[in-house]
């Protein structure tokens, strides 16, 4: 059962909801950004550089929170987000490693495309 803020307990995290949340490239970028940092340090939602309206950004973070990927805490008029690494590693071992590997592969592919475009 989710807590008052909508964070599911680890045993209630569903793989389908996590995959659905990660299917969106902007949400995947948020999780990858937290993975590349320590993931434990809370970060303001507005610092992820999402090129969307505030309401849309709020929606994306709600999906991540309700899937169980991030933990959010209210601070003044904003929210801070952190990755639920320990809970995710316990519930779905290897998922974050797979996501990190796939993120590195996508970044390399994007960089190769940029280099090829610059050479033409």
pLDDT tens, position by position, 94-109: 999 999 998 888 878 7
**Cα–Cα dist 82/84, whole Å:** 7
pLDDT reported for residue 2: 66
Provide the 3-class DSSP secondary structure of residue 3.
Answer: coil
**One pLDDT digit (tens) per residue for the chain, 120 residues:** 767 677 999 999 999 999 999 999 999 999 999 998 875 789 998 888 899 999 999 999 999 999 999 999 988 888 999 999 999 999 999 999 999 998 888 878 777 777 878 887
Q: Which residues contact 2 (CB under 8 A, 6 or more apart)?
A: 8, 9, 12, 66
pLDDT reported for residue 58: 92
DSSP-derived letter for residue 68 is: T
* Topology of the domain comprising 10-119: Arc Repressor Mutant, subunit A (1.10.10)
All structural domains of the chain with their residue ranges = 10-119
The helices-and-strands tally (H runs, E runs) of the chain is: 5, 3
Strand (E) positions, the chain?
A: 43-44, 70-75, 78-83
> Structure pTM?
0.86
**Cα–Cα dist 40/34, whole Å:** 8
The runs of H, that is alpha helices, within 7-80 are 15-22, 25-36, 54-67
pLDDT tens, position by position, 28-46: 999 999 998 875 789 998 8
Cβ–Cβ under 8 Å, residues 99 and 23: no
């Amino acid at each position: 059962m989710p807590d008052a803020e909508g964070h599911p307990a680890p045993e209630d995290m569903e793989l389908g909801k996590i995959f659905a949340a990660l299917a969106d490239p902007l949400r995947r970028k948020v999780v990858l950004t937290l993975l590349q940092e320590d993931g434990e340090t809370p970060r303001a939602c507005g610092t992820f550089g999402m090129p969307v309206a505030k309401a849309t950004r709020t929606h994306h973070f709600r999906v991540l929170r309700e899937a169980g990927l991030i933990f959010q805490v209210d601070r003044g008029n904003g929210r801070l987000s952190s990755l639920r690494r320990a809970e995710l590693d316990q519930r779905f071992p290897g998922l974050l490693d797979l996501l990190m590997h796939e993120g590195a592969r996508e970044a390399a592919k994007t960089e190769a495309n940029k280099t090829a475009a610059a050479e033409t």
